[in-house]
Structure 1
Amino acid sequence: MRFTLLAASLFTAGDVLAQRSPAAAAINGGAGGYVVDGQYRFNQRQFWDFSKINVGGSTNLPAGQRVPTGLKASDFPVDSYVYTPANVIIARGYLHLKVNANTFISGEVTTNFKISYASVRAVAMLSEPAGVCNGMFFYQSDTQETDIEFLSNRNSASNTDAASDAGAPAGTRYLWLSNQAASKRKQKTTRPVPLPANPTSSLHEYRLDLVPGMTRFFIDGKQVWNSTDNVPTVAGVWVFNNWADPDPAWSAGPPKQDAYFRIRSIDMYYS
């Protein structure tokens, strides 16, 4: 019991003693690249720890800079919703991506550099108010995309259909893992998988590896799926977003309260 109480005291609200993926092996201190899982080699690493970034405090960003170097806040409309830099906020140890209550005003960041292959690990807390989609994914185009996504609305047709197919209780939500269709003649490759414990109140690691010919998906360091179909082959950017639209089959928004997707850190090995 004493160990349990001591361990609990070392973690802030929302942190858990969850498993994480092992760090990549650095070759010559990183100068020669990084090797993930003993087999996948990447040239570069970027690590953003938002618990150590305070826009107005001790670890300052440059004046007028909303996100750290290597990331940029999106500012454009997409169909029925819109991304605005005002909904990208670093505060209280997190990168907050916000969707405003009763609107489709959303938040997104992307890398400002292109990526061909990567192993990307985000430690994050998913959104609770029904009606949003949290995304962590690679994107070059609608036919060159691989995703980790969470739909907060239990009544989204995607969640209800997946629960029915699995014989799960009504209201079960899932983490959606997908490679989007690589051409109009193909169907996307997708798999709904169970969420980790308390995903909207505890931090978990969500990892996506894009390697030649394969995508690999992990939760808290454990591989939960992989796919060799519809794997992207063209360099693009990595995206983290929180958005809403009225589509009853997907986000089924908008949320009735402000919805925040909270990201503690992003660790990215890439080429």
Structure 2
Amino acid sequence: MLSFETFLQLFLLTTIAAVIADATPSNSRPSASDNSLDARSATDVDGTFDGCHYQVEGAGAFSNHFSFDFTTMDTLPDEFIASTYEVGSGPYAPYAHIFNPDNIVLGTGQPMQMIVPGGQTADPLDTCQLVTRYDDILYASVRTVAQVSPVNGTVHGFFMYMNDTQETDIEIRTGDPGHVHFTNQQTHPGNGETTYAVAAPSTMTSAFHEYRYDWLSTGTNFYIDGVLTLTITRNNPSSPGWLMWNSWSNGYAWTYGPPLQDNILLIRSVEAYFNRSSVDTSNCEPSAATSIRATSTSAGARVTTNAAAVSSRPTSAADIETTKTDADYDYYWDCT
């Protein structure tokens, strides 16, 4: 019979091994230079389009694609809805917050601004959120080119959401400019938390960087400036939902807010390759393959719907640390 001390050692070793397996690190580091992002965006091609599907390197094939350069627009594209609902206060949310479309500002020649006004002291706090018009997205590769606000007091979110147990997130806390937080939310109460902090680009608040998640059937892969930074295989969402972008505060410690000054998230562009559960792609006939990124970003906006194949999971992924407590999750799950 094992002694209690031996049993405890085996338990701890098993727990550590499980954490390492869930989030696979690599030696790659996020880029600290906006110049490298611009060069990569201008020259790289993610994959090919054969008239039926988009084959994205490291992620697989997807039926749909959109790419929006907000510097070419003065109104939101039809694929997006500006949220208007209110999220109530609670034990971990001293303030309610409401998503106000007026806080999303577009103007030709400028990146989109997502504003949380400064100096707010009363319910509900004014915040903002964008959501895809369709709620049946099932697996996606989503890229957001953004510059983080240097003003303390909000959380910027780029994420997929169906409900509190079907969600994958990129979160940036403006009060913690040294980290970017990657999460697959718990799919079951006893499943353990899968949320990690990775090193942020040193110029995150002064330059644009690309933040990307590939939500696949076998796990979620997170990238910064094209570098695969983290892979999470546990608590992977498996139900269709929305793609979302928001900036918000509820006065709790996680948000460091509300901000004393206007807090402005700048988003230059978003691009997504994705499947939709309601789209029947069985009758599509492939044609000659062409490249994707160069044609889709230069025009400012492109939206296409075609047939899809299956997604596959890439390998590899950075220095990580587990973040958040159970209490943090209680309030965080209310944020959308």
Give the TM-score range, shorter chain: 0.7 to 0.9
Give the Cα–Cα distance (whole angstroms) in 2 for the partners of residues 102 and 174 of structure 1: 25
- Describe the SS at the equivalent of 1:185: coil
For structure 1, the 5+ residue unaligned runs are: 1-13, 56-60, 62-66, 155-171
Q: Can you list the C-alpha shifts for 1:60-97, whole angstroms capped at 9, x where unaligned?
A: x4xxxxx1110110001112211111111112421111
How far has the Cα of 1:173 moved from its partner?
2.6
Aligned residues: 227
Q: Determine the C-alpha separation between the residues in 1 that align with 2:212 and 2:58.
A: 17
Q: Is the 8 A contact 1:149 1:175 kept in 2?
A: yes
Name 1:77's counterpart in structure 2: 86
Asked if the contact 1:16–1:202 (Cα under 8 Å) also holds between the matched residues in 2, the reply is: no
Distance 1:251 1:39 in 2: 32
TM-score, with normalisation over the residues of structure 2? 0.65
Partners of 1:147 and 1:20 in 2: CA distance = 24
Which residue in 1 is equivalent to 2:266?
A: 262
**Comparing 221-230 with 80-89, which one deviates more in the overlay?**
80-89
Which of 200, 204, 211 is 1:206 aligned to?
211
Q: Secondary structure at the match of 1:98?
A: strand
- Aligned pair in 2 of structure 1 residues 223, 38: CA closer, same or farther (>3 Å)? closer
- Normalized per residue, the structure richer in strand is 1
Is the contact made by 2:59 and 2:141 (CA closer than 8 Å) also made in structure 1? no
Q: What residue is the counterpart of 1:100 in the other structure?
A: 117
> Aligned with 1:129: secondary structure?
coil
Question: Within the alignment, does 1:86 sit opposite 2:102 as a pair?
Answer: yes
Encode CA deviations 1:230-268: one digit per residue, 9 max, x unaligned.
Answer: 0000000011000011111x1021001011111000011
Tell me by how many angstroms 1:38 deviates: 5.3
Could you report, residue by residue, the CA deviation over 1:134-185 in whole angstroms, capped at 9, with x for unpaired residues? 000000001000000010114xxxxxxxxxxxxxxxxx63100000000122
Judging by fraction of residues, say which structure has more helix: 2
TM score, norm. by length of structure 1: 0.80
Contact preservation (8 Å) 1:176, 1:190: yes
Shift of 1:27: 2.8
The AA in structure 2 aligned to 1:48 is F
Q: How does 1:1-271 map to 2 (within 5 A)?
A: 16-18=35-37, 20=40, 22-28=44-50, 31-37=51-57, 40-53=60-73, 55=74, 61=75, 67-79=76-88, 80-91=96-107, 92-103=109-120, 104-113=125-134, 114-154=136-176, 173-248=178-253, 250-271=254-275
Sequence identity percentage: 32
- What are the ranges of 5 or more consecutive residues in structure 2 without an aligned counterpart? 1-32, 89-95, 276-336
Distance in 1 (alpha carbons) for counterparts of 2:140 and 2:247? 22
Aligned partner of 1:9 in structure 2 is: none
- The two structures, once aligned, show a CA RMSD in angstroms of 1.7
Greater CA deviation, 76-85 or 233-242? Answer: 76-85
- Measured after TM superposition, the shift of residue 210 of structure 1 is 0.4
Higher mean C-alpha displacement, 234-243 vs 31-40:
31-40
Q: Whose radius of gyration is greater, 1 or 2?
A: 2
